[in-house]
Structure 1
């Protein structure tokens, strides 16, 4: 692990842990805490639910890398996964995942692992039929090729990776800037964006937290990283809807519409 990778990874863990209390105070947390008592409850939107269903989630041993509070890991069980494992380096969010698992009828089929994704336990290797990466995870990764190689190592031969992410083009814009529709950053920006704002997504005013490092990755970085990790791209689809913070809703429904998010499906080589 390079010094910068190590620095960014440790910093982001501290930032997420410091922000966890804000998520517990939200209406969304209360909705999840009561909702998961229903075996059919899921936090997936129709796009995520459809692509997972179409790529063998039912009956699968599934893993989510960067699971946050476990809501989507548990949602995979509601959609028919045989077992679901969530991995995250924030012990504060893994603790929240434990609370949600405790109220879920599917809780016995869920596991949560608190670990640095660049140093996962060997026991997880090649144990899963399907891996899921969702909104924002890739941008917290300072070494994207290495991260995708780790994700690939979790899959059995023929296993599938499903990514549902914000589009890299969106990182060019600052929705709360003076001119939110003019590019504020280069698509090819190499240096991370470092901020000491709390990590919140509901539009509330952020307090201060330890600095977090947000990385810029192009679509080419993602696709090439998958291929070099031994994953064969099966589908890449872009969408005009936003799955990011509410501030980004200003980019929805414009005449000159940006791609705002995408899904990517890739299969691990081998039989």
Structure 2
């Protein structure tokens, strides 16, 4: 895992136009440097072996968004420490493979395997260029992985369409597009729109020399659906999980105050049409 150097210190942040190549490759270094801090903060909520779809607390064990995966070949994109794939393999009977662009996150996945006595197949890969044969998976999914961190999400959907078998399912969760119009504040300050919903400039963090350290990309609801359909996939449904009563955990801009009034997560279910 790489360590942050003084040259990587955050010097500026905001909604900025940056070259796609710089923004698209920033995720690898950022997650390498921040993998352990992220897991220290969120690991207990995520669990070592569980498929959590969103900060609202929706879990696959309750939602069954992937359907029956017993014996199915399942691919996770942007898997982080592979908690979702680990759960699918140990609890749902799936033949799962976890991929992530970050070596730091995959190192964390190996540590969780050691702690839990499991063995999860891990592959370091960019979701826009998957190292798998065409039509080799029955199901693909990601929970807040890969899609937010690339300027060309359509390539991710195209790769998913390629590696899915006919009839294969694709399920992904992302920050709800409407949330981009509001400040990233879980309290009352996050209830007033301050930006245009249609402003697609990414949120960017930069070093003093202008290098992109982190980039997260906004897409409207129509953008997400258009990317899926453009890849030749069929949209089966959209889900906007409501904030559950009694759930008080704050995660970044997510929390019960905003959750009572605004959707925080969008989940899209799709499939590759049968041949």
Q: Using structure 1 for the length normalisation, give the TM-score.
A: 0.79
Q: Are 1:118 and 2:128 matched, yes or no?
A: yes
Q: Are 1:128 and 2:137 matched, yes or no?
A: yes
Q: Are 1:169 and 2:169 matched, yes or no?
A: no
Q: Are 1:52 and 2:44 matched, yes or no?
A: no
User: 1:102 maps to which residue?
Assistant: 114
Unmatched runs of 5 consecutive residues or more in structure 1: 198-208
Query: 2 CA distance for matches of 1:70 and 1:124?
Result: 21
Q: Could you say if the C-alpha distance between residues 5 and 152 of structure 1 is closer, same or farther in structure 2, counting changes exceeding 3 Å?
A: farther
User: 1:206 maps to which residue?
Assistant: none
Which stretch has the larger CA shift, 52-61 or 9-18? 52-61
Query: 1 CA distance for matches of 2:111 and 2:91?
Result: 20
Q: Which has the higher contact order (CA 8 A, sep 6+)?
A: 2
Query: 1 CA distance for matches of 2:128 and 2:65?
Result: 29
Q: Are 1:19 and 2:27 matched, yes or no?
A: no
Q: Using structure 2 for the length normalisation, give the TM-score.
A: 0.78
RMSD across aligned positions (CA)? 2.9
User: 1:235 maps to which residue?
Assistant: 237
Match 2:205 to one of 176, 195, 198: 195
Query: 1 CA distance for matches of 2:201 and 2:254?
Result: 22
Query: 2 CA distance for matches of 1:147 and 1:120?
Result: 9
Q: Could you say if the C-alpha distance between residues 78 and 17 of structure 1 is closer, same or farther in structure 2, counting changes exceeding 3 Å?
A: same
Query: 1 CA distance for matches of 2:202 and 2:41?
Result: 31
Q: Are 1:141 and 2:123 matched, yes or no?
A: no
Query: 2 CA distance for matches of 1:151 and 1:80?
Result: 22
Alpha-carbon shift at residue 28 of structure 1 (Å): 4.8
Match 2:254 to one of 248, 253, 257: 248
Q: Are 1:184 and 2:190 matched, yes or no?
A: no
Q: Secondary structure at the match of 1:248?
A: coil
Q: Any conservation in 2 of the 1:148–1:226 contact (CA below 8 Å)?
A: yes
Unmatched runs of 5 consecutive residues or more in structure 2: 1-17
Alpha-carbon shift at residue 173 of structure 1 (Å): 1.2
Q: Could you say if the C-alpha distance between residues 244 and 127 of structure 1 is closer, same or farther in structure 2, counting changes exceeding 3 Å?
A: farther
Q: Any conservation in 2 of the 1:53–1:79 contact (CA below 8 Å)?
A: no
Query: 1 CA distance for matches of 2:201 and 2:69?
Result: 36
Alpha-carbon shift at residue 142 of structure 1 (Å): 0.8
Number of positions where the alignment pairs a residue of Structure 1 with one of Structure 2: 245
Alpha-carbon shift at residue 49 of structure 1 (Å): 2.8
Q: Secondary structure at the match of 2:190?
A: coil
